[in-house]
Structure 1
Amino acid sequence: MDKDEMTTFLFRLPASLKEKLSKKAKEENKSVNATLQSIVDESLTKPTSSEALEKRMFLGKRVSARQFDELDGLVKVDGIYYRYLIESNQPLKLGHDYIIIEAVGNILTLRPLNNKEE
């Protein structure tokens, strides 16, 4: 298996710990998956890859509505175009801003901002 290839496995933890993890992810404007990956990565290794750099630079960053290229399905962040997914497979809402909650390769996962966050 290539070292950057993603894999999945079942992970069990107490509900109280899951709540803490969810709260931390929300506070950091990240997905639970991205938060857990960061925690595991930091505890096992010191990040040195360019992917770790992108995660540090992009996670929690606000993406304005004008940065989207709806025709090509791309978003421009810091001068570079990325593919994107909206959290929970929601459709892109034109005119809304988003927060980057995960960066895997050239794909960013975005969470729509609520009106109270705008």
Structure 2
Amino acid sequence: MKEKKFSLRLDQSLYDQIAAQAKAESRSVNNFIVRLLQENSQKESLESRQFVGQIIKGSEILTDSALVSVNGIYYRYSLSNVDTVDSSASYVISDANGNILTLTQLT
């Protein structure tokens, strides 16, 4: 991979924070910034952008087929903080990975 060099201006206090975090991870400041940029430039899926944070009623989760309908599309699901679906509870979509949504029961 060809590298591109460029100047970056940072406020001294921001630089100091970044340098401290880089040191804590045994990285150079440059390597730390590159890693942050790589992690934060990953494209999110449509499901992540559109569904994460959406509330689902437990009664809308199809436990017999292990599917949940979100905006008219059926997705597989996994539960993050409980073992079984409570039809009287509400759930938030806390993650979306491909066609699998992670549901977290709200208390």
Structure 2 unpaired stretches of 5+: 1-20, 22-36
Matches within 5 A, 1:40-51: 41-42=39-40, 45=41, 47=43
CA RMSD of aligned residues (A): 2.3
Q: Share of identical aligned residues, percent?
A: 35
Larger strand share, 1 or 2: 2
Larger Rg: 2
Larger helix share, 1 or 2: 1
Matches within 5 A, 1:96-107: 96-107=89-100
TM-score by length of 1: 0.53
Equivalent residue number for residue 85 of structure 1 = 78
Matches within 5 A, 1:57-76: 57-76=50-69
**Distance apart, 1:65 and its partner CA:** 2.1
CA distance in 2, matches of 1:71, 1:62: 20
CA distance in 2, matches of 1:40, 1:93: 39
**Distance apart, 1:89 and its partner CA:** 5.3
Aligned length: 72
Structure 1 unpaired stretches of 5+: 1-13, 15-38
**Distance apart, 1:73 and its partner CA:** 1.1
TM-score by length of 2: 0.58
